[in-house]
Amino acid sequence: MSHDTGLVLVLNAGSSSLKSAGFTATPAGPEPRFSGQMEGIGNAPHMMARNAAGETLADHRWDGGDAPANHAAALGVIVRGLDQALHGEAVLAIGHRVVHGGVDFAVPMRIDEATIAALERLVPLAPLHQPHNLVGIRAAAEHFPGVPQVACFDTAFHRTQGWAAQTFALPPHFYDQGIRRYGFHGLSYEYISRRITEEDPKLGAGRLVVAHLGNGASLCAIEGGRSRASTMGFTALDGIPMGTRSGQIDPGVVLHMIDTLGMTTAEVTRLLYNGSGLKGMSGVSQDVRQIEAAGTEQAERALEHFAFRVRREIAAMAASIGGIDALVFTAGIGENAHRVRARICAGLDFLGITLDPLRNAANALEISAPGAAVRVLVRRTDEEGMIARHTLDALRAG
């Protein structure tokens, strides 16, 4: 089969969701055909799919015994839908988002049994995501026997960071054992960096601070298209507060929870990964829209703390690259929550960051005030498109 034409399928498996997207392989690169997402896997699944024009292809909810109970079953539903939509068109390759690549995986890789075994050893570093990534890989191999699969790593983009940015203040043998800052959301940052470079090569070659603010959230300092620092570290639990994750926390608090409060490590893990962040602080939800609508003092404090932490890290990221030419907001909160963006940017005038309130409220592509020293941009990220491009490149490389 020619590597220049055909369908590239992209799978992005989360803890309770499975995103899928289809791209037509062309000599110029992947062209989007459709995208879909199944949420609530194992509970009350909801599947939606749209074509490249945004038209709805599927919108289905399950509330009975026939609901897909796991990621393998969910992929089966998606595959059956694909069979009907593609009329026998063959799948050329399958690309997967894999959250943790560890020390060894710094570029997209063709998947074989040795790769899978290596990725399984990294499960403790990304317990919410890595197991589901692997389930997606195995399920895809079962549904598409013989079709090449490619793993694209969220940590890979950050391997350009220097030693000082990657290390912890521990004895060196811990670094040598792989205990270091890896950073995540790399596929999103890589896409944003490439897009900005395509739009404005001079800006893309400069100093960007990108805020990927969604249910998972982090920031990255990018200089000349390369990651120089990021807020996430050894795991995707570090950095700024997220939807349900605490972000950075004093290690002494964890020791206190275990030694003094008598919590087990499993209880602490559930608290920090699933019961903290915006959801835990607000007592409402991890959804910013619901938190803003609640209007309670507790909800207000959750948003205030979130904005404070993001604002602090914007300055830290700028310091790590000696300044800032543009601040870019992306992902669900970053792209849509204009009130949160306003909270974050309030007080950043000293960096040259000032918003235009009307453009910000309209979620415009550029929301900085006229004449501001630093451009503030809003861009939709496209991790699936980045995975499709990497998958095609790996396939053509042989």
Catalytic residues: 154
b/e map of 307-337 (b: 16 or more CB within 10 Å)? bebbbebbbebbebbeebbbbbbbbbbbbbb
Q: How far is CA 44 from CA 60, 74, 110, in A?
A: 11, 12, 34
Question: What are the DSSP E strand ranges found in 27-167?
Answer: 29-39, 46-51, 56-61, 91-98, 109-110, 149-153
User: Which residues, in sequence order, are CB contacts of 256 under 8 Å at separation 6+?
Assistant: none
What phi and psi, each to the nearest 5 degrees, are found at residue 165?
A: -75, -25
- Strands 6-13 and 91-98, by their bridges, are parallel
CB atoms within 10 A of CB 358: 9
Sign of CA dihedral 198, 200, 201, 203: negative
Which tokens in the block code for residue 189? Answer: 């940052």
Which tokens in the block code for residue 339? Answer: 């009130």
- Give the whole-angstrom CA distance, residue 282 versus residue 274: 13
